[in-house]
Every structure is written in structure tokens, then in C-alpha cells.
Amino acid sequence: MSRFFLTTPLYYVNARPHLGHAYSTIVADTVVRFRQQLGENASFLTGTDEHGQKIQRAAEAAGITPQQFADANAARFREEWDRLGLRYSYFIRTSEARHAAAVAAVFRRMQANGHIYKGEYSGAYCVHDELYVEGQPGDVCPTCGRPTEKLTEENYYFRLSAFQQPLLKLYEEQPEFIRPESRRNEVLAFVQAGLRDLSISRTSIRWGIPVPGDEKHVFYVWLDALCGYLTGIGYGSELPADRQRFQDLWPAWHLVGKEIVRFHAVYWPAFLMAAGLPLPRGIIAHGWLLFEEEKMSKSRGNVVRAEPIRRVLGSDALRYFLLREISFGQDGSFSYDSLVSRYNSDLANDWGNLASRTLNMIHRYFGGKIPYPAAGVAWLHGDLEIMRLAEQARDELRQAFDQHHFARGLESVWQLIAGLNRYLVDQEPWALAEKNDSGSRSRLATVLHIAAEGLRFIAVLLASVLPGSANRLWTQLGLEGDAAQRIDGLTWGKIPVDQAIAPIEPLFPRLEKAVAIEQLRRLETESEAAASSGQAAAGQSAAAASAPPADATAPTPAAVMDKAATAVPPAAASAPTANAPAAAAAGTQAAAGASGSAARIAIDDFAKVDMRVGEVKTAERIPGATKLLKLTVDIGTETRQIVAGIAEAYTPFDLVGKKVVIVANLEPRKLRGVESNGMIVAASDPATGKPTLVSVPAETPNGARLR
Ligand code: ME8
């Protein structure tokens, strides 16, 4: 059986997952499910990239160790994928011991092959991208636009320059090594322009994997992280089962966002060549998810999360939207408006209605047994047209998905769905049912058989993109097993004679758009406010950071979910993935978060937090955000705008004139698009999460520092 092994990027754990991360992981899950439907032994790996300056700093800011910080956020990624029903086979965390050993092994091989030397480097370094860049320290990084810093180090260097020709040869011999073509051209141009040796160790960073034999160095985070693709499937282990797995699975295909193509298509193959290890099969690059015309990213403060969408519309609807709306490889915009529109038009109207009409008529007219056409029946033009559309959808989807043209493949299935809806209108089975002659009865059997057979095709073809709904339809059709049947073996006319269908429930209940959007916004606000007031309440302690974001002050995810379930019963009830385990897992962490205590820190660490007394000058609600208030706070030297997740405990009226304590030296961030320049300190009730503001007597001057 042929094997197919795919990887997603290993996501940084400096923040919790957003829809951009979910997009890559959903695509990987879909591709793997699709390959399995072609009879391949397909699987994918995902995981988290946990070392480096960025994470070290984020942990410092949270007042906990990098390991604690990484543990908390890695768990969030895993939980997110589990809740969305994403079936990764391997999850690698780069802070695992097995990984450190494997990175050291790769390095030793590179060294033994003469591709490593020691040298000194001083230059402009982008902490965010973990990359030296051209220009002077202080210049902005060409990739992310943040100011660079000066870094001088004695480093281990990798002779990347020696790999220019081997890389060019690779791209030439394997034109499909980098897909799509546009990305390949960018990489070609980059390599043709010449490659400089690459510094692959750092002495300025403590949070990393030590270089064997020279422990004051840690490995450059990209060398470390890329090796995770190997470790995650057993490389470096002595156990025979691990060695065998690695042999079986490697080389992989790598699915990545377009901004990290260079690391995967240039550095990574060069590292592997230097270590004498087999090269990846290829790099598949996708575009960015945009929100309000900009790349969705934590630093831009414009992220959307998957969880509210899963709760209101179900994870299938999210998968469908991302694969149908975004032309794979290109950037695409996300909005709740278009998400709910697609849900209503494509899923509820087109597919959902087709299924419920057909199944209801089979119940009503044939006692719940799928009718079979009489032997030797003469097919009419309309019948043949459906068969043609079904086979066309099968062939086009297969071809399109093979080339990662998901939207195109789905369009073909929707042509079949539209064709079947038209067919029912043209054939009027309800009118045939009113006539009592045997000809009409026989025609009715043929029409409903064709519709049911069409539904069977649709369920199989959509099983990789909408696995939960395809399976529900499969079960309603009374068929055995699940919808993830072989696509290459899918042929017309295979519904068993006298097949009894199961009770019917709507696949996608129609949603009132405004209500659904309001609900999505409410859940989003609650979760963001919980994340931010979780930090506020706990002073960014280990307790806050080691529990998932929604824990400290917000209703527990279970409570939020209950609200979702009562407000939009059909969608929430039909959400296919395991709600109960998600709620249980989150509940456990909420408890851990409440009872956990912060790791001890040195006084110097505390001194880094600039806490000041301030006076609230103005306070107002933020439209559409139930938990957030926008405040202006006078801190003596200036007046700051701060967004605080306290609207459920305090009204604007309660606050104006009140003395509060703020953390003044936090990076500004945006909440619901509103910039927050600092954070209000509050205590969080461990049971209810209700925030209580920390205050000081009225005579304390504004700007007084807390020490
Ligand atoms: O780059 N649209 O991690 P990362 C689409 N740790 N995809 C997006 C996205 C968006 N707006 N935002 C993020 C790293 N992604 C490194 C990778 S691999 C050995 C190390 C997805 O947390 C997309 O796949 O910044 C992108 O490449 C990845 O998340 C970046 O994740």
C-alpha cells in the first residue's frame, strides 16, 4: 500500500492557536483523509516549536519558566485540534527530550561531513522571526517590519553557500518540489542570487537545545524546529519500532504557509543533504488568511479563533468554508458574514435540503426503504444526466484535490447537488406519488433511487472535507460503515436492494444570520476577555499562563458551550465533534488554573513589571463586546487608553474617578480592534472568575509606582 506522510508547520507556542493555524491543520487533515479514500496509508504530523528568544521573552513577561509557558500553550494547540476532530497521528513538541537527542544527532552528522565551522558574527537580528537580517541594528526587519536588535556572537556556521548548486539541481530535477509554481520561482530567484553561510547556534539565548560538547551554545531555533519533522516519527530513537516507523514514513511532504517556504525549501534540504539524510518529497505552500485585508496574526491583533465557530456552526462548516472560499495557494479573506452566508446557502439550502427532501419522501412513499428501479428500466435523459454529473463530480474532485484545488473539487460536487435539486423539481416525485397507476409508481421509485444514490455519492465525495456531516448522512441512508469509502471504487448503482434508511435529522439547520453572527461575536468576546482578564487578574502568574485562556475569569468553556447550545440548539446540537471531552478537559484545566500557584521569581523579575497607580478618567462599553470596557487612565505623566475585561462586574459609572492599579510597561495590544496600552490589575474569584479591581486610597498620587 502506498504511503503518504504530511506535516504541518510546528507552531510557535508564544500564543494560543488562531484560525490561521487551524487552516493549515484542517488542510492537512483533509488531504490525509482524501488520500486514505484513495487507499493510501496516509497520516500527518503536527506539533509545536517551543524554543528561542520569542518564547523565552514571552515566558519572562508572564513570570514563569519557558517550559511552563510552553507546556501551557502546547496543550492549547493539542486541545484545539482534538476539539476540531483533526486526526493527526503524531504530535511533536520540540522541548521533548527525544527531540534534543535527535537534533544533536543531525548536527553531529553535519559536522562529521565537514559542513560546520566556528566563526564570529555581529549584525542586525530580528527576534520575532529568529533571523539575522541585512542592514544595521535598529533597521526594521524586511519580513515582519519590527525593529531589529544588535547581536554579536561566536557561532557555529553551516556551509549553506556550498549547497547552491545541489539545491538548484534539486529544483530542476524535481519541478514539483515546491508548489505552487509562483513560490518555486521565488525560491529559485533567492538561491540563484547566492547563498551565504548560516549561523546555526546562539550564545545569547538560554532556552534551546545545547550544542553537544559546547553547551554555552544552543541551536538556532529553525534547525531545531525543522528536525522535529524527523523526531516526531522516531528518528534518533534506538527502539526498533521507532526506527521502523521512521523508515516507513520518511520522506514527508511539508505543508506550510507562504512566509516560511524559504526555510523549508532552501535551509531544510541543505541541512538534510549535509547530514546525508533523504530529502523531503516536496513543499506545498498555502496563502494567508486575511481578516479585514491584513494577514491574520497575533501581532496585528486581528485574529479570529476557531472555537466560537465550532460551537455555533460546527467544525465541518468551518472546514467547508476554508476550503471552498479560499483558493488554495492564494490569500483569502475571512469574515463571519461570508461564513454564515456560505453555511446557509451551500450547506443548509443546497445539500441539507436535498438530503432531507429525498429521505423524507423515501419514508413517506416507500416506508423508509430505498426503492430500486424495475429491471430493464429505460432511463430518461434527466436520469442519465444525474449519473453523468455524479461520475463527473467523482473524477473532477479526485483530480482537483490531487492538485490541492479544493475549491474546484467542491464546486464539482455542488454541481451534482444543484443537478439533483433541479432533477427533483423537474421530476416532481410528490406529484407522481399522488397518481395511482403503476407507471407513476415505478417512475417514482426510479427518481427516488437516483436521488438516494446521488446522496451516497455526495457523502463519499465530501467525507474528507465534511467528515461529520457525511457520516451522519451515511448513517441516515442506513449504509454500513462510514462515508469515507474508496473514491476510486465509487461506482453508480451500488445501494443494496431494500436498503432501510434510519431516522432523519437535519444535516445543517438554517441559521438566522444576524443571530448567528451576534452569537459568534459574543463567544469570541468572552473568550478574548477571559484570556486578557485572566492575565490581569493573576498578574500574569503561572496560574494564568498554565491554564488555557478561557479559564481564569470567564465562564468555563463548558458554561459558554451550554449557552451556545441553548441559544442555537440545532447547530450546536448537530456540531459533530466531541463536545463533551472538550468541556471536560477544559474544566480540569480551569480547576488547575485556580488552585495552582505561581513559580517563584527573583526580585529583579518582579522589578521588570512597572505597576502604577492611575485614575480612571473616562469609561465606555465597546459595541458588541459584552465583557470589555474602554478606559482612559491618568497615570500622572500621561493618560493611557486601556481595554479591560471587567464589563460584567463594573459599569462605566462605577469606574470614573476610581483609583486603579495598572501594569504600565506591557506591549500595546488590540482587543476587538481597540488598542489597549497597559492592563488593569484585578483579583479573580477562583470559583466564579469574577474580577475585583485592586485599588488604593484616593490620596495616592497618580503615577505612584508599586514596589
Ligand atoms: O512559523 N493564514 O510558526 P507560527 C494562514 N514555528 N496560515 C497561517 C496564518 C494566516 N494568517 N497565520 C499562521 C512558525 N498560519 C514556525 C514554524 S516549522 C518547523 C516552524 C499558519 O506559529 C501557516 O501554516 O508562526 C504558517 O506557516 C504557520 O501557521 C506559522 O506558524
Stretch among 392-406, 416-430, 504-518, 634-648 having the lowest mean pLDDT:
634-648
Q: Where are the beta strands (DSSP E) in 228-279?
A: 253-257
Is the pLDDT assigned to residue 512 strictly greater than 60?
Answer: yes
pLDDT digits (tens, 9 = 90+) for 134-186: 889 999 988 888 899 998 878 899 999 999 999 999 999 999 999 999 999 99
Residue 21 near ligand 1, beta carbon < 6 Å: yes
pLDDT at res. 162: 97
Reduced DSSP (H G I as helix, E B as strand, rest coil) percent helix, strand, coil of the chain, to 5: 50, 20, 35
Do residues 464 and 401 touch, judged by C-beta distance below 8 A? yes
23 lines ligand 1 (CB under 6 A): yes
Query: Position 445: which residue type?
Result: A
**pTM listed for this prediction:** 0.77
Cα 271 to Cα 106, 197, 421: the distances in Å are 8, 12, 54
The helix-helix angle for 315-325 and 467-476 (nearest 10°) equals: 120
- CA 330 to chain CA centroid, Å, is 17
Which CA distances in Å does 42 have to 45, 109, 648? 11, 29, 48
Closest atom of ligand 1 relative to the 259 alpha carbon: 27
User: In angstroms, how far is CA 589 from the centroid of its own chain?
Assistant: 21
Name the residue with the closest Cα to ligand 1, atom 4: 11
**CB 50 less than 6 A from any atom of ligand 1:** no
Closest protein CA for atom 3 of ligand 1: 11
Q: Ligand 1 centroid vs 297 CA: distance in angstroms?
A: 9
Query: Percent of the chain having pLDDT more than 70?
Result: 89
pLDDT above 50 (res 541): no
Q: Is the CB of 324 under 6 A from ligand 1?
A: no
User: What does the pLDDT read at residue 684?
Assistant: 77
Q: Are the C-beta atoms of residues 660 and 632 closer than 8 Å to each other?
A: no
Nearest CA to ligand 1 atom 23: 257
Atom of ligand 1 nearest to the CA of 287: 5
Is 295's C-beta closer than 6 angstroms to any atom of ligand 1? yes
Q: Is the dihedral of CA 540, 542, 547, 551 positive or negative?
A: negative
Q: Report whether 242 contacts 226 (CB < 8 A).
A: no
User: Are 127 and 141 in contact, with CB atoms under 8 Å apart?
Assistant: no
CA distances from 164 to 271, 282, 283 (A): 12, 18, 18
- 3-state helix/strand/coil string of 532-586: HHHHHHHCCCHHHHHCCCCCCCCCCHHHHHHHHHHHCHHHHHHCCCCHHHHHHHH
The reply to whether ligand 1 has any atom less than 6 angstroms from the CB of 260 is yes
CA of 673 to the centre of ligand 1 (A): 22
| Per-range mean pLDDT, top range of 371-385, 390-404, 652-666 | 390-404
Percent of the chain with pLDDT over 90: 68
Residue linked to cell 505543508 = 255
CA distances from 34 to 28, 79, 401 (A): 10, 23, 8
Least confident stretch, 15-29, 465-479, 570-584, 673-687:
570-584
- CB 177 near ligand 1, within 6 Å: no
| 446-459 per-residue burial string, b: 16 or more CB within 10 A, e: under 16 | bbbbbbbbbbbbbb
HEC readout, 347-394: HHHHHHHHHHHHHHHHHHHHCCECCCCCCCCCCCHHHHHHHHHHHHHH
Whole-number Å distance, alpha carbon 366 to ligand 1 midpoint, is 52
195-236 pLDDT tens trace: 999 999 988 888 999 999 999 999 999 999 999 999 999 999
pLDDT, position 129: 82
Which residue has its alpha carbon closest to ligand 1 atom 13? Answer: 20
* Angle at alpha carbon of residue 91, lines to 312 and 220, rounded to 5°: 115
For residue 183 the three cell numbers come to 513560490
Residues near 213 by beta carbon (within 8 Å), at least 6 away in sequence? none
Residue 607, exposed/middle/buried by CB under 10 A (0-12, 13-18, 19+)?
exposed
10 pocket-lining for ligand 1 (C-beta < 6 Å): yes
Q: Does residue 554 register a pLDDT over 50? A: no
Rounded to the nearest whole angstrom, what is the distance from the C-alpha of residue 24 to the centroid of ligand 1?
8
Q: How far, in Å, CA of 309 to CA of 324, rounded?
A: 16
Block residue for cell numbers 484535490? 401
Q: Ligand 1 within 6 A of 296 CB?
A: yes
User: How far is 374 from 453, CA to CA, in rounded Å?
Assistant: 15
Nearest to 655 by CA among 688, 692, 624, 622: 692
Query: Which residue owns the Cα nearest ligand 1 atom 16?
Result: 11
Residue position matching grid coordinates 533597521: 139
Ligand 1 near 49 CB (within 6 A)? yes
| Cis peptide preceding 429, ω within 30 of 0 | no
Strand ordering across the sheet containing 116-126: 131-133, 116-126, 149-158, 198-199
290 CA distance to ligand 1 middle (Å):
13
Atom in ligand 1 nearest the alpha carbon of residue 12? 22
Task: Indicate the top mutation candidate among 29, 49, 271, 283 to test ligand 1's pocket, ranked by most ligand atoms within 8 A of CB.
Answer: 49
pLDDT band at 459, cuts 50/70/90? very high
490-500: average pLDDT: 91
Output 547 or 235, whichever has higher pLDDT: 235
Q: Is 143 exposed, middle or buried (0-12, 13-18, 19+ CB in 10 A)?
A: middle
Single-letter amino acid, residue 320: Y
State residue 598's pLDDT score.
56
Residue 540: what pLDDT?
Answer: 36
pLDDT value at residue 18: 96
> What is the whole-number distance in angstroms between the Cα of residue 329 and the centre of ligand 1?
14
> Between residues 312 and 591, which one has the greater pLDDT?
312
Q: What is the rounded CA–CA span in Å between residue 552 and residue 688?
A: 9
Over residues 421-457, the pLDDT tens digits come to: 999 999 999 999 999 899 999 999 999 999 999 999 9
Q: How far is the CA of 259 from the centre of ligand 1 (A)?
A: 8
Nearest-atom number in ligand 1 for the CA of 15 is: 22
Q: Is residue 221 lining ligand 1, measured as CB closer than 6 Å?
A: no
Pocket test for ligand 1, best of 7, 10, 11, 221 (most atoms within 8 A of CB): 11
Q: Is 297 in the pocket of ligand 1 (CB under 6 A)?
A: yes
Q: Residue whose CA is closest, atom 8 of ligand 1? A: 20
Distance CA 227, CA 220 (A): 11
pLDDT digits (tens, 9 = 90+) for 328-364: 999 999 999 999 999 999 999 999 999 999 999 999 9
- Cell digits of residue 25: 491543520
Atom 12 in ligand 1: which residue has the minimum CA distance? Answer: 20
Which grid cell is 673? 480592534
Q: How does strand 3-12 pair with strand 41-49?
A: parallel
Average pLDDT over residues 309-318: 97
pLDDT for residue 579 is more than 50: no
Give the Cα separation of 295 and 9 in Å (integer).
17
The CA 692 to ligand 1 mean position distance, Å, reads 37
Q: Which residue's CA is the nearest one to ligand 1's atom 21? A: 21
For residues 536 and 35, the model is more confident at 35
Q: Between 684 and 456, where is the model more confident?
A: 456
pLDDT in tens, 74-97: 999 999 999 999 999 999 999 999
Q: In 305-333, which positions are buried (b, 16+ CB within 10 angstroms) versus exposed (e)?
A: bbbbbbbbbbbbbbbbbbbbbbebbeebe
Decide if 265 contacts 176 (C-beta within 8 A): no
Contacts of 606 (CB under 8 A, 6+ apart): none
A 10 A CB-CB count for 613 gives: 22
Tell me phi and psi for residue 681, to 5 degrees.
-90, 130
> What mean pLDDT is reported for the chain?
87
Name the residue at shortest CA distance from atom 29 of ligand 1.
21
- In this structure, what DSSP letter does residue 260 have? G
Q: Whose CA is nearest to atom 26 of ligand 1?
A: 257
Which residue's CA is the nearest one to ligand 1's atom 31?
11
Which residue owns the Cα nearest ligand 1 atom 30?
11
22 lines ligand 1 (CB under 6 A): no
What pLDDT, on a 0 to 100 scale, did the predictor assign at position 599? Answer: 60
Task: Give the integer Cα–Cα distance in Å for 230 and 216.
Answer: 25
Q: Is the CB of 24 under 6 A from ligand 1?
A: yes
pLDDT-wise least confident of 101-110, 232-241, 421-430, 592-601: 592-601
Among 144, 219, 258, 260, which is best to mutate for testing ligand 1, by the most ligand atoms less than 8 A from CB?
A: 260
